[in-house]
Chain A
């Protein structure tokens, strides 16, 4: 069965800390891995990763994919209270439209 597992399920840190969120997957016909941020409403797109070892970066957020070990990490440096959200990882397979979603990591940043 195709599955995506995220860890930790929840994480509480202080403002300014650096966090690393994990996403591992077991799917047939992997095509790409996507990260989303969800703040009590619609998930918003962060990154899409298709190639191993190439870091994607956007401000304080970065992500990388390891297709050999079947996982990705999402890093957030110098965290701010506005980073508090659920971070979702999803894997897209060759069917082109279906995404398999992880349960998310709930990140809480304390001031």
Chain B
């Protein structure tokens, strides 16, 4: 089991470009969660998705950010027209169901740098 796979590990974008972050959950996991971590800060919840459904996007900015988890393929976190403040580490986690008994399994994260 390869665990939660995120790519790319590092992503550099110029202001105004689009950033696409991918997350493949663990085998058998159908629930995906995206978190953002700013330097020296804790993880902040962004969005929770199941296959083809957004369950909770209360932590995601309403503009420029979107997320999807299609029937086939990885979950995608998309940031349009990136700004310097979007620079952060973005972590994806997955679980087999909504019943999280021991916390999530996290991916290694994508570090986005906006220049």
Contacts and interface: CB of A to CB of B under 8 A. Distances in A.
Interface of A: 4, 6, 9, 34, 36, 41-45, 48, 88, 90, 92, 96-99, 101-104
A99 B106 contact: no
Interface residues of B, number: 26
Given A42-B109, A88-B42, A90-B43, A99 B103 contact: yes
Given A6-B42, A97-B100, A103-B41, 10 more contacts: A9-B40, A41-B109, A43-B106, A45-B102, A48-B103, A88-B43, A90-B42, A92-B100, A97-B48, A101-B35
B91 interface: yes
B106 to A, nearest CB: 4
A90 B40 contact: no
Given A90-B103, A92-B100, A99 B45 contact: yes
Contacts, number: 57
A44 B105 CA distance: 8
Nearest to B48: A97
A48 B103 CA distance: 8
A101 to B, nearest CB: 3
Contacts of A99: 43, 45, 103-104
A98 B41 contact: no
A96 B98 contact: yes
Contacts of B52: none
B43 to A, nearest CB: 4
B4 interface: yes
